[in-house]
Amino acid sequence: MILASESPRRRELLAAVGVSFRVIPSGVDETPRSGEPPSRFVRRAALDKGEAVAKLHPSSFVLSADTIVVTDGRILGKPSNRAEARRMLSRLAGREHKVYTAVCLLADGNGYRDLGTEVTRVRFRPLTAAEIAAYARTGECDDKAGAYAAQGAGMLLIDRVVGSFTNVVGLPMTRVVAMLERASLIRVSPAGPSWYVFSGGKS
């Protein structure tokens, strides 16, 4: 299986449950179209990424994903600089936002496609300007949607999570594992250290 993402968080999540894969980033542009609703954009982005890699590797299953942070109906992408990161964090402080991750599993050779979206509600605690500035200086916000990493020091920003925590990190693993099982790509390991083992996939 191919993971069409260069995100280290997604690699770590898949590896944690024993899934075998190789990484081939898609290089697909992740810019929303004018007037495109967040829920539609995130599904299109995940599908576009998967299709770009699957066309080059038709005999392989490809797993792709896209994660966005949404508040007040507006997508917060990755900050372009620390000042923008501070503005994003100020916008999220003391409020609830939603994290959308669309996940796509497809194989170009046999037309297989499974696409789904997970939504998690996250509430930040109230943050002072000093706390926001200090977190931004860590650099952890630099390449993260919404300017925070829930699996890192950014966990201290969060008051409550409703839904899948791994979705906030970058992959809703319960959904992903179900997708891989439906495609007969993995099965529960009968023995050994891994939870799941590769089982071939549907033809």
Give mean pLDDT in consecutive 10-residue pieces for the chain, a chain of 203 residues: 94 89 90 91 96 95 96 92 97 98 94 97 98 96 92 96 97 96 83 58 50
What local confidence, expressed as pLDDT, does residue 203 receive? Answer: 39
Q: Which domains does the chain have, with CATH numbers?
A: 2-198 (3.90.950.10)
Distances in Å between the Cα of 53 and the Cα atoms of 23, 58, 102, 103, 164 are 10, 9, 16, 14, 27
SS3 of 22, please? strand
Instruction: Please give the structure tokens belonging to residue 27.
Output: 């290089």
What local confidence, expressed as pLDDT, does residue 126 receive? Answer: 98
What local confidence, expressed as pLDDT, does residue 197 receive? Answer: 60
Nearest 5°: phi and psi at 105?
Answer: -120, 120
Q: Which residue out of 29, 48, 66, 159 is catalytically annotated? A: 66
Return d(Cα 131, Cα 97) in angstroms, integer. 19
The H-assigned helical ranges of the chain are 8-16, 38-54, 82-92, 129-137, 165-169, 173-182
Question: Quick check: is 114 catalytic?
Answer: no
Model confidence, pTM: 0.90
